[in-house]
Structure 1
Amino acid sequence: MLSPQQRAAQLRHPHGGAALAVAESMNRSNGALNQAAIALLAVGAHQTVLEIGPGNAAFAGDLLRAPGSRYLGIEVSEAMVDAAQERLALAGLQARARVERGDVHALALEDACVDAALAVNTLYFRDDLGAPLAELARVLRPGGRLCLAFVDVAFMRTLPFAAHDVHLHGLAEVELALHSAGLRVCGWRDHREHATGNDGGVVDKHFHLLLAHR
């Protein structure tokens, strides 16, 4: 059992013996949120999709349903890159998908090379949203779209790990940061779930999904 501080550190940068278990736990707990974000992003045929912080790329296959689509994941954790590449190979997706180690602050990508981009539950580990959103805007083609999925601030404050170097970004703040990066917000979804917490009680989970166009 990880302490709240240890869990925050693993969520920020999965590492060591706990990395794979944490990734699988997040895949289970965030499965419905990821599916909602994927549906909102709506990757089309022959489009290239970029995912920031994909972990072990558990949802890459869902992003590649459209024929001819291609996938790139950018992940800070070497352990997750290795796990993702293994998962993609086992799924037979290595010809259309890959995960590379990198950071959203400095993407090793050409300008206007991506049709769609996705980031689920990654904003909390960024103090300033300006630089990463500007990078995402840079690599999006004109008309390209970005979907951000993130926890509502009030709900985040109820999570024990949020007290450990986790940055809270409200809906209005994220919308403003997108606008400042040159992106136009064109869709919003309020995503709520009821789940069983570690203490056996019911937890009301609350997330926001924003869709923006370049």
Structure 2
Amino acid sequence: MSCPPAATGVTRLLSPEHLAAQLRHPHGEHALAIAESMNRSNGALNRAAIALLAVGPAERVLEIGPGNAAFAGDLLHAAGSRYLGIEVSSDMVEAAQARLHAAGLEDRAEIRLGDAHTLALPEACMDAALAVNTLYFWEDLRTPLEELARVLRPGARLCLAFGDAAFMRTLPFAAHGFHLHALAEVELALRSAGLRVCGWRSHRETGTGNDGSQIDKHFHLLLARR
């Protein structure tokens, strides 16, 4: 699920610990508000990652942690492309299904409840995969990356977008259960999973923190091939 969120009423009301829990697994009365907040805050980052992934015609694309699938339509611009989102939150799966139906995308897009550590998918079934601001919630990098490598066909692409560790440590909620990783550590984990790193982008923008102050955000985008 994408994070960190913009400063909204709900994010200001929640303690850093409770906000972290919602970012990890949106649920209950705050789930939809959290999702919309994250979509607004991370729109530019998601679009940058989608542009780097560059889904082509008739390609099958997998997104890990899509939340309410706000960016599925952006991944489906290419003719004949198909989309699958794997999401841990049942509340987000329900919201995503409603969004895809409203957008008329249900014939090309699907959302399933699941986890990156165990993808219920056959080998070499995907042409591209995307995970934006989700690796903080993986217990280890090895298992999800090996699973992603397994389901990607030879030559397929994976884009990971995640916050720079030094930047993330300035966010109070990141102290509660977030696994932060240096860029070099993620690159090494990709290679260890059998993926070849072929591109990197630095993404910087200014946003508003949960306390209303301006913050300078710093993210990394890594592109790898199977």
Residue 66 of structure 1 pairs with residue 83 of structure 2: no
The Cα shift of 1:89 comes to 0.1
Q: 2:179 aligns with which of 167, 178, 181?
A: 167
User: What is residue 34 of structure 2 aligned with on the other side?
Assistant: 22
Given residue 140 of structure 1, which amino acid in structure 2 is its aligned partner? L
User: What is residue 91 of structure 2 aligned with on the other side?
Assistant: 79
Deviant stretches of 4+, over 4 Å: none
- Distance across 2 between alignment mates of 1:175 and 1:129: 10
Listed as ranges, the gaps of 5+ residues in structure 2 are 1-12
User: What is residue 195 of structure 1 aligned with on the other side?
Assistant: 207
User: What is residue 5 of structure 1 aligned with on the other side?
Assistant: 17
1:78-111 deviations in whole A, cap 9, x for unaligned? 0000000000000000000010001111111000
TM-score, length of structure 1 as denominator length: 0.99
TM-score, length of structure 2 as denominator length: 0.94
User: What is residue 131 of structure 1 aligned with on the other side?
Assistant: 143
- Distance across 1 between alignment mates of 2:88 and 2:210: 28
1:43-101 deviations in whole A, cap 9, x for unaligned? 00000000000000000000000000000000000000000000000000000001000
The Cα shift of 1:144 comes to 0.2
User: What is residue 126 of structure 2 aligned with on the other side?
Assistant: 114
Residue 182 of structure 1 pairs with residue 194 of structure 2: yes
Given residue 160 of structure 2, which amino acid in structure 1 is its aligned partner? L
The Cα shift of 1:195 comes to 1.4
The Cα shift of 1:199 comes to 3.3
The Cα shift of 1:202 comes to 1.9
Q: 1:40 aligns with which of 52, 55, 60?
A: 52
Query: What is the 5 A alignment of 1:85-96?
Result: 85-96=97-108
- Distance across 2 between alignment mates of 1:200 and 1:111: 46
Listed as ranges, the gaps of 5+ residues in structure 1 are none
Residue 155 of structure 1 pairs with residue 167 of structure 2: yes
- Distance across 2 between alignment mates of 1:90 and 1:153: 37
| Bigger shift: residues 182-191 or 196-205 | 196-205
* Cα root mean square deviation, aligned: 0.7
User: What is residue 53 of structure 1 aligned with on the other side?
Assistant: 65
Secondary structure at the counterpart of residue 143 of structure 1: strand
- Distance across 1 between alignment mates of 2:173 and 2:213: 18
Residue 98 of structure 1 pairs with residue 98 of structure 2: no
